[in-house]
Structure 1
């Protein structure tokens, strides 16, 4: 039987990206001198930066957020003072280090301590953009802050407390009238919806050119005054999760016109993200399409080969620190956030070593609850437990996804033990697996009458690893699912599983705050260098469970 399958393109999304690319491509160098801001943002070199000739002092600012730490304060100060040159400023924030907090403080300081009057803030997802707006609304009123949404977004997707910061017309989200829009100090939107501003000709290029032409038309005998740009800064959160072309619409909004004098203040461009976690979700695995602008910039010599980069950190040493003997040096156009406020030190130890050159400093305060004294923990009694498991993995009929029944029972029994013995709220427990079929099995099993005294445990969070990026839970149970080595090569080709997927592994291990359980086959995990290191950590410290435990076999009992 022949079947025709049609995959329509998302014209609204692709169209905005294509137009942004066209606008930026039109700014290629010509014979006459011109502003090369876009080249500096996309392909920065050391020559575009400033030289640092003296050690920087501790920044002293009247902060809106009193909990800003030393590294975050330096990032805020660097962007506001612009001590690094006309370059993208990158804030590398590993899990739980406060990337969003840093960007919010940066936006407020730009408005209140610099000549920047209008800031565009974007994020790859609507949820991340909403979170930015929710934090900013603590400091701004409805005349200062706009949460810009595309007309097709449902209003029930937006938090009720944010609706007053949105513009609604004819029961749809809409672009405000020109005069009202120009008055907002901060506009928050998704990277995709930044194209709304560009298509409405509300870019620095269009606005500045119109102003200059109008001034020349009214006073042709006088030299036209040099006007300032409307958008003074572009800030992007979770930048490592956006493809390069995703960010182009936002960049095209703030990009200055070619004729804009280079001796005047240029728009600032800062991004926060984590290049070591999962990148953009794309159908193609080709790095040319799946690498974010954030990650690509961090690989450029200006950032990767800088003396203060993470890659220059020696094993078991402190994060790199600027010393007088290093001067003069190119001022670092980046900040490395190193203080983790999420996870127990034992949970953080191996990810810090494997993915962040041992630079992370645990700052989370461990609460004293029944979970900390649970009989589940082994060895040093740290809240990390590896459960070796060799139960067979199976595949759904007709070549569907992979699942593992015995592993699913272990995970669900663990969740029940956590809820009833350690008094952990169901919503504070997360079970994740890299295989969709295993996620489906877990959801059906834990909601059955075998758990929760016959009522099921409906509030336990279960999903694929990717779904939990950016989130945190008190306790995480990771089901690695795969137990047969002969299928690993196929898994790698398809980009599934956690073996050979270091970024996915990083995400999976760093969601937990107070407790981490990993169920996996030692032989399979041992084929991966990073997983082998994590298992050695567990064996070395006695953090290994026993399959003979009651909650490791069979079906769960009632509470």
Structure 2
């Protein structure tokens, strides 16, 4: 445990300074203001002897806090050296690009400010990377491994945890601030790379994530049994100093911020995962302009509840050389919905682009089957991926294929964190496709299906197929 002796007694003296925010939206969000103030003020008095944690459910603006805090540190603490790291490249890219956009307003790239470091395995992505981000990276002409002595001059270094390991063994020195994004999705060993390599006892360490979403991917059953499936962030939150009073919501605000305002999804969509996983503590704050796109869609009986469950009594299958399932009946239905949405839109003249739609399935074989048929029959590219690949992403419309049917055991679909990710990706319309009888064996799925039925947004399977 990190500085375990301090956990039950340490209180940080929070210095609240007067800040002029780069992101003006933060100025209207009390929780975000609090987080930025606490992170920035950590350098002005006693150091954060334990990690500062930003607990952010879906769509609550975790990344905005990280970016604003870093920009403020650049301005107010000239001696700061900042490391930004995460498991996936997409999380690092998002933060780095937002910072670059602010730093480059009306200017050429500023020297020795930010270095986005990629491993050589990412060279194939070069043509698809944002041009501004390339200018701040080690791939702006071709991939090269940076000289550590030169890298030491940069105020901000951004890289994945796996890349960080190589930089540290090459001699990269410690930082005043280490930001670990998507911390709840990182394994214990991954997180320790950032700790061992980036921190001293005088450093500030900031976790950002949501431990109620999908956690680390652990393939070893023995490692899972030994507790390595629990992230370091989730372990930290189990300590008494991070406790929150369930009755009044009070918690020690000097060492953590708990975000509660969702700016992504329609209120009815938020209500689903809010009630299931967040004790009804979330508030829906997204603009109606972005979330009410499906109000006129012909597929909804209740337009104020833009979640549809379409029941299918298909048959799950798997190839001999794979343990991943697929379901052709659900593949066909997914394609019908995609074709109809792109052809007819959401009603009231609202047309959709391919990039507005996302398709999620828990099984890789199903994702591959859907993508192949989309390419073959519809000649379109709609982003199709597993639950793991959709962490942190959002789309106006999400279509989900659950695959499992007529089985006794739901397997990893029983994991509530997996369903939480699925329910929280859509902004305006969520279409769920699966065997309602099979899925209802698990209480969370049963709740979702009952809510769809209650609002009349449930399409039963054909009567002729009702054997299960």
Give TM-score, length-normalised by structure 2.
Answer: 0.86
Q: Give SS of 2:358's match.
A: strand
**CA distance 1:238–1:420, change in 2 (3 Å):** same
1:292 corresponds to which of 222, 226, 231: 231
- Name 1:416's counterpart in structure 2: 339
**CA distance 1:43–1:530, change in 2 (3 Å):** farther
- Name 1:14's counterpart in structure 2: none
Contact 2:313 2:435 in 1 (8 A): yes
In 2: Cα distance, 1:75 partner to 1:370 partner: 32
By how many angstroms is 1:104 displaced?
0.8
- Name 1:196's counterpart in structure 2: 166
Structural mapping, 1:382-393, within 5 Å: 382-393=305-316
Deviations 1:130-163 (A, max 9, x none): 2211111123323211112335541643433222
**CA distance 1:46–1:483, change in 2 (3 Å):** same
In 2: Cα distance, 1:86 partner to 1:398 partner: 50
Q: Give SS of 1:47's match.
A: coil
In 2: Cα distance, 1:386 partner to 1:347 partner: 13
By how many angstroms is 1:473 displaced?
0.9
By how many angstroms is 1:85 displaced?
4.6
Contact 1:241 1:279 in 2 (8 A): yes
Contact 2:308 2:432 in 1 (8 A): yes
**Counterpart check, 1:106 vs 2:69:** yes
Deviations 1:376-413 (A, max 9, x none): 10135421111122223233356653222222222211
In 1: Cα distance, 2:448 partner to 2:134 partner: 45
Q: When the two structures are aligned, how many residues end up with a matched partner?
A: 442
Give TM-score, length-normalised by structure 1.
Answer: 0.73
- Name 1:27's counterpart in structure 2: none
Contact 1:167 1:176 in 2 (8 A): no
Structural mapping, 1:75-224, within 5 Å: 75-82=35-42, 85-114=48-77, 116-140=79-103, 141-154=110-123, 156-157=125-126, 158-167=129-138, 171-176=142-147, 178=149, 180-204=150-174
Deviates more, 1:368-377 or 1:244-253: 368-377
- Name 1:214's counterpart in structure 2: none
In 1: Cα distance, 2:140 partner to 2:297 partner: 55
In 2: Cα distance, 1:168 partner to 1:421 partner: 42
Structural mapping, 1:325-336, within 5 Å: 331-336=253-258
In 1: Cα distance, 2:227 partner to 2:211 partner: 15
By how many angstroms is 1:358 displaced?
0.9
Deviations 1:266-322 (A, max 9, x none): 21111111111111222124152222111111122222x333xxxx15xxxxx7257
**CA distance 1:437–1:187, change in 2 (3 Å):** closer
Structural mapping, 1:143-542, within 5 Å: 143-154=112-123, 156-157=125-126, 158-167=129-138, 171-176=142-147, 178=149, 180-204=150-174, 231-256=175-200, 266-285=202-221, 286=224, 288-303=227-242, 305-307=243-245, 312=246, 320-321=249-250, 331-367=253-289, 371-379=294-302, 381-397=304-320, 400-422=323-345, 423-449=351-377, 456-486=378-408, 488=409, 491-492=410-411, 495=412, 498=413, 500-542=414-456
Contact 1:485 1:523 in 2 (8 A): no
In 1: Cα distance, 2:338 partner to 2:120 partner: 41
In 1: Cα distance, 2:322 partner to 2:35 partner: 50
In 1: Cα distance, 2:382 partner to 2:167 partner: 40
Q: Give SS of 1:485's match.
A: coil
**CA distance 1:421–1:167, change in 2 (3 Å):** closer
By how many angstroms is 1:522 displaced?
2.1
In 1: Cα distance, 2:217 partner to 2:73 partner: 32
**CA distance 1:170–1:349, change in 2 (3 Å):** closer
- Name 1:63's counterpart in structure 2: 21
1:72 corresponds to which of 25, 28, 32: 32
In 1: Cα distance, 2:301 partner to 2:139 partner: 56
By how many angstroms is 1:506 displaced?
0.7
In 2: Cα distance, 1:116 partner to 1:356 partner: 39
**CA distance 1:78–1:233, change in 2 (3 Å):** same
In 2: Cα distance, 1:370 partner to 1:132 partner: 28
**CA distance 1:172–1:84, change in 2 (3 Å):** closer
Contact 1:88 1:271 in 2 (8 A): yes
**CA distance 1:50–1:168, change in 2 (3 Å):** closer
**CA distance 1:78–1:399, change in 2 (3 Å):** closer
By how many angstroms is 1:513 displaced?
0.8
